[in-house]
A and B are shown apart, each in its own frame.
Chain A
Amino acid sequence: MSYTQISILAVIVIVILDLFIIKTALLKRAAFWTSYAIILPFQFMTNWWLTSRNIVMYDPDVITGVRFFSAPAEDVLFGFALILSVLSLWINLGKGSSANRS
Chain B
Amino acid sequence: MLAFTIFGSFWLEIALKVRVLKRIRRAMMAIAPVAACFLLWDAYAIANKHWYFDKEQIIGLFGPLNIPLEEYLFFIVIPLAAIMTIEAVRNVKKHWIIGDEK
Contact = CB atoms under 8 A, between A and B. Distances in A.
Given A39-B82, A101-B94, A86 B31 contact: yes
B43 interface: no
Chain A residues touching B, majority SS = helix
A90 interface: yes
A73 interface: no
Contacts of A58: 50-51
A56 B51 contact: yes
Nearest to B9: A42
A31 B90 contact: yes
Contacts of A97: 26, 100, 102
Interface of A: 2-3, 6, 10, 24-26, 29-32, 34-35, 38-39, 42, 45-46, 49-50, 53-59, 62, 82-83, 85-87, 89-102
